[in-house]
């Protein structure tokens, strides 16, 4: 039985409800009147239910699809402006006891190099990341209670926050580790993490159990209920996502939105971020073995419909995607991207040898961070290294209330400009620096409040003089 407020996975992600929803959409995908009504509701910027959202995803009326894309782009601008938040993943360990058939870290893979960074190695990796200009990390690990216990993750977070190198520092550490206990989530909260991220992989229970045949991750219920335990443990911001390609994308889309609805209904705050990874080639993993892959056009529509349905959420696309594909979805709702990402354990301090490969998946966008920053600015976006909301306590419902009211732009826009100026002075190439100065100059006038503009200009001058870390 479907119950959005239930704490039982099979009830807030109801298989029967998803099937009914898919059938409803199939029967109404040509219903122009109904689709128009849903679009009009979406224009209110309050989001859509999973049943309303799938109507837009399934819509095959070209005129209406163009309305959907235009609305997605406008909603993204309304909530997040032209800012794109930058981050980098850092893999701490690839030891894993699970048997996930789509991941090269699975326990039976005997030829991938197994690694775990020591605290000394973490220092070197973080210094290398700081030297590129990164301020926000997403920590990644496999699941192995012996080789990668929670104590190791906590120690690593402490190490990362302690590293000050030249003008560099990591100001926000997000964590993507396996589902765990309320007690461990409390420990992560106390360690000062930003967002706790966990991908569902697939919401289809039967497929989930087949794709995770062995190990603790096999437990669908425990995995799916992880975000509720994280929030019970005091973590304000959680990030969800599915791995598109494992199951039929329409099923995953509905499940993803049902999860977002559930978090909002139970905890008063939906997901801080939604990620949209697609399965990619990796060591001993052939994506063609999974017959549910989606093309770029379908992927773009998924992004647009998620943006419309959950307008307040941050949306993330990684270097799994090509430059061309990333450019397309930036317009339709993406608000965070990574640059110069390594999916190996470490790899920033010095590249891995080919025979020592520990990568989780192949990267499609291999540009440097400076090249990505330059590219974003040429597209009219502000690359933002801002972490102010997290450090000012604007998390969870406090962030969401600001975001939903549109007021977040009054602090995020100037914060983005100030952190961009830091990047330009400390790390950018000459071409990127010139381009960035012009962009900042033109964007100052877009700050709506005169008082904020005055403070912003003063802070930008201070940054030029060598001071750092101003924030609204």
The confidence score (pLDDT) of residue 287 equals 61
Instruction: Read off the pLDDT band of 46 (50, 70, 90).
Output: very high
The confidence score (pLDDT) of residue 113 equals 85
The confidence score (pLDDT) of residue 285 equals 57
Asked which of 8-17, 34-43, 273-282, 451-460 is least confident by mean pLDDT, the reply is 273-282
- Percent of the chain residues topping a pLDDT of 90: 82
- Examine the pLDDT at 30 and tell me if it is beyond 60: yes
Question: Residue 250's closest CA among 280, 288, 189, 294?
Answer: 294
The confidence score (pLDDT) of residue 291 equals 66
Instruction: Read off the pLDDT band of 319 (50, 70, 90).
Output: confident
The confidence score (pLDDT) of residue 281 equals 61
Q: Give 177-193 pLDDT, tens digit per residue.
A: 999 999 999 999 999 99
Residue 289: which region, alpha, beta or left (left: phi > 0; alpha: psi -120 to 50)? alpha
| Phi, psi (rounded to 5 degrees) for 124 | -65, -40
At 91, which helix (H) or strand (E)?
Answer: strand 83-93
The confidence score (pLDDT) of residue 402 equals 74
The confidence score (pLDDT) of residue 353 equals 73
Q: Give 335-380 pLDDT, tens digit per residue.
A: 999 999 998 899 999 887 766 676 676 788 889 999 999 999 999 9
Asked which of 208-222, 251-265, 403-417 is least confident by mean pLDDT, the reply is 403-417
User: In a 3-state reduction of DSSP, which class is residue 240?
Assistant: strand
The pair of three-digit structure tokens given for residue 367, joined into one six-digit string: 């540009």
Query: For residue 389, what are the contacts with CB-CB under 8 A and spacing of at least 6?
Result: 395, 399, 408, 411, 412
Cβ 451 vs Cβ 459: under 8 Å:
no
Q: Give 190-222 pLDDT, tens digit per residue.
A: 999 999 999 999 999 999 999 999 999 999 999
Question: E strands along 170-327, which residues?
Answer: 172-176, 195-197, 237-241, 273-275, 314-317
Q: What mean pLDDT is predicted for residues 153-178?
A: 97
The confidence score (pLDDT) of residue 56 equals 98
Mean pLDDT score of the chain: 93
Give the bridge partners for 383, in sequence order: 84
The confidence score (pLDDT) of residue 423 equals 98
- Examine the pLDDT at 445 and tell me if it is beyond 70: yes
Residues in the chain: 472
Whole-angstrom Cα distance, residue 468 to residue 418?
Answer: 9
């Amino acid at each position: 039985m479907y119950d959005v407020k239930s704490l039982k996975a099979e009830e807030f992600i109801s298989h029967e409800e998803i099937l009914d929803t898919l059938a409803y959409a199939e029967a109404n995908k040509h219903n122009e009147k109904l689709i128009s009504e849903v679009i009009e509701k979406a224009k209110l910027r309050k989001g859509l239910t999973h049943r309303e959202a799938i109507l837009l995803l399934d819509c095959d009326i070209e005129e209406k699809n163009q309305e959907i894309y235009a609305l997605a782009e406008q909603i993204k601008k309304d909530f997040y402006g032209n800012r794109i938040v930058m981050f980098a993943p850092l893999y701490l360990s690839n030891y894993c006891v699970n048997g996930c058939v789509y991941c090269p870290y699975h326990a039976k893979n005997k030829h991938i190099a197994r690694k775990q960074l020591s605290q000394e190695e973490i220092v070197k990796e973080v210094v290398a990341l700081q030297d590129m200009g990164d301020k926000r990390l997403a920590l990644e690990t496999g699941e192995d209670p012996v080789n990668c216990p929670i104590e190791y993750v906590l120690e690593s977070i402490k190490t990362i926050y302690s590293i000050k190198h030249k003008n560099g520092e990591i100001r926000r550490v997000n964590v993507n580790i396996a589902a765990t206990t309320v007690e461990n989530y409390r420990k992560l909260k106390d360690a000062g993490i930003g967002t706790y991220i966990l991908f569902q992989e697939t919401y289809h229970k039967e497929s989930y159990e087949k794709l995770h045949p062995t190990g603790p991750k096999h437990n669908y219920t425990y995995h799916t209920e992880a975000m509720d335990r994280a929030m019970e443990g005091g973590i304000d911001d959680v990030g969800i996502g599915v791995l598109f390609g494992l199951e039929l994308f329409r099923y995953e889309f509905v499940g993803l939105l049902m999860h977002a609805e559930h978090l909002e209904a139970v905890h008063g705050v939906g997901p801080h971020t939604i990620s949209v990874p697609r399965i990619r080639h990796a060591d001993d993993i052939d994506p063609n073995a999974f017959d549910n892959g989606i093309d770029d056009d379908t992927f773009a529509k998924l992004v647009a419909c998620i943006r419309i349905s959950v307008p307040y959420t941050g949306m993330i696309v990684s270097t799994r995607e090509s430059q061309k594909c990333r450019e397309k979805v930036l317009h339709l709702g993406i608000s965070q991207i990574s640059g110069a990402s390594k999916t190996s354990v470490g790899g920033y301090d010095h590249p891995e040898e080919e025979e020592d490969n520990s990568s989780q998946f192949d990267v499609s966008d291999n540009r440097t961070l400076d090249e990505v920053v330059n590219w974003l600015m040429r597209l009219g976006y502000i690359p933002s290294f801002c972490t102010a909301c997290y450090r000012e306590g604007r998390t969870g419902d406090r962030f969401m209330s600001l975001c939903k009211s549109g007021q977040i732009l009054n602090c995020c826009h100037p914060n983005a400009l100030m952190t961009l100026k830091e990047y330009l002075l400390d790390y950018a190439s000459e071409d990127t620096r010139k381009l960035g100065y012009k962009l900042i100059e033109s964007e100052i006038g877009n700050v709506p409040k005169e008082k904020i503009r005055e403070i912003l200009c003063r802070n930008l001058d201070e940054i030029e003089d060598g001071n750092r870390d101003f924030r609204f």
